[in-house]
């Protein structure tokens, strides 16, 4: 009975958000285009023969960056910006009365956006293969499923981190600037601009203890068939989720206690 209710709630939320997202097709297409930085990076790598030094062939490197593009497309999170706007506009109060954590609403919003984004990402990949026909490959089903799981886990990690930052809205009005600060290490250390194998040794020694390489580098390596430690990577992803989730619950309960509606 209870699980049925939850299922219905989630299903309704998804349906509502999906039809909402379909209204903004052009924006989502533009957003998908704005994620093509990995391709520019690939261009620098191959055009200057930089990949020779890290022992990755041209083809594997181009697959890596294509996968990085895909993983990024399906792990983009903007919950802090939505939540900040809602809390500044006073929309959080009605959400709090409902018998559903408002973050489910944002979660459904993100999933719905990913479904809408999927065809655009495929189109961009199609163009990529037209320009780089030699890098076409078909990953086997097991690897494909595993990399979908790890992309989803990467999305969950980022969603949790941003939700924690978003909860800071209860204390300060502009949590988004903290998010912009956190985005910088995510951008440079996650493997979006350069694969983590190419990092100098003094960075590689500690980076695998942080959540960053598991956001893009690990799922992209998995999907593109580059060398990676599958069980270790998935384990670390799950470990980070288990670490972050209680933190989110704690900060959420503290925050809602602290929360006072506008004008009170």
Partner 1 sequence: MNLRKYLKVYKKFLHTSLASELEYKANILVDLITAILSLVGSIFLLSIFFQNSGYIGGWKFEQALIIQAIYTILNGITNTWFNPNLTEIVKHIREGTLDFVLLKPIDSQFFISLKKLNPSGFLEIMVGIFLLFFCIRINQINLNLSFLTLSFITISCSICILYSLWFFISTTTIWFVKTWNAIEVLRSFLYIGRFPLNSFSFSLRIFFSVFIPIAFITTIPSEVFLGLSQLWKILLEVIVASVFLITSRKFWLFALKFYSSASS
Binding region for partner 1 (CB under 8 A): 24, 26-28, 30-31, 33-37, 40, 43-44, 46-50, 52-53, 172-174, 177-178, 180-181, 184-185, 187-188, 193-194, 198-200, 203
Q: Would you say 4 or 34 has its CB closer to partner 1?
A: 34
CA distance 27 to 212: 28
CA distance 148 to 157: 14
- What token pair was written down for 83? 């939540």
Q: Would you say 12 or 43 has its CB closer to partner 1?
A: 43
Helix, strand or coil for residue 21? Answer: helix
CA distance 157 to 159: 5
Q: Would you say 31 or 152 has its CB closer to partner 1?
A: 31
Nearest distance from residue 168's CB to partner 1, in Å?
11
Nearest distance from residue 250's CB to partner 1, in Å?
23
Q: Would you say 11 or 183 has its CB closer to partner 1?
A: 183
SS (H, E, C) 106-135: HHHHHHHHHHHHHHHHHHHHHHHHHHCHHH
Residue with tokens 């790598």: 45
Nearest distance from residue 45's CB to partner 1, in Å?
8
Q: Would you say 22 or 33 has its CB closer to partner 1?
A: 33
Nearest distance from residue 54's CB to partner 1, in Å?
8
Nearest distance from residue 187's CB to partner 1, in Å?
7
Q: How would DSSP label each residue in 198-223?
A: GS-HHHHHHHTTSSGGGTTHHHHHHH
- What token pair was written down for 106? 């944002």
Q: DSSP state, 153?
A: H
Nearest distance from residue 181's CB to partner 1, in Å?
5
Sequence-distant (6+) residues with CB within 8 A of 163 are 79, 80, 83, 103, 106, 248, 252
Q: Would you say 28 or 60 has its CB closer to partner 1?
A: 28
């Amino acid at each position: 009975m209870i699980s049925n209710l939850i299922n219905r709630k989630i299903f309704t939320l998804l349906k509502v958000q999906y039809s909402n997202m379909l209204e903004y097709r052009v924006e989502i297409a533009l957003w998908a285009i704005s994620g093509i930085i990995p391709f520019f990076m690939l261009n620098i790598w191959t055009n200057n023969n930089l990949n020779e030094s890290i022992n990755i062939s041209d083809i594997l490197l181009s697959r890596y960056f294509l996968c990085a593009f895909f993983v990024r497309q399906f792990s983009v999170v903007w919950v802090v910006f939505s939540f900040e706007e809602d809390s500044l506009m006073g929309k959080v109060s009605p959400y709090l009365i409902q018998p559903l954590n408002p973050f489910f609403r944002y979660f459904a919003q993100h999933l719905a956006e990913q479904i809408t984004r999927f065809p655009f990402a495929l189109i961009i990949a199609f163009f990529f293969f037209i320009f780089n026909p030699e890098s076409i490959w078909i990953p086997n089903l097991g690897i494909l499923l595993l990399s979908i799981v790890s992309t989803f886990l990467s999305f969950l990690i980022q969603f949790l981190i941003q939700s924690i930052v978003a909860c800071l809205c209860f204390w300060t009005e502009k949590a988004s600037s903290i998010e912009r600060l956190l985005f910088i290490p995510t951008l440079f250390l996650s493997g979006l601009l350069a694969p983590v194998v190419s990092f100098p040794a003094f960075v590689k020694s500690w980076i695998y203890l942080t959540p960053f390489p598991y956001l893009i580098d690990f799922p992209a390596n998995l999907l593109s068939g580059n060398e990676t430690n599958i069980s270790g990577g998935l384990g670390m992803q799950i470990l980070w989720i288990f670490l972050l989730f209680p933190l989110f619950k704690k900060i959420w309960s503290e925050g809602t206690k602290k929360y006072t509606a506008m004008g009170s």
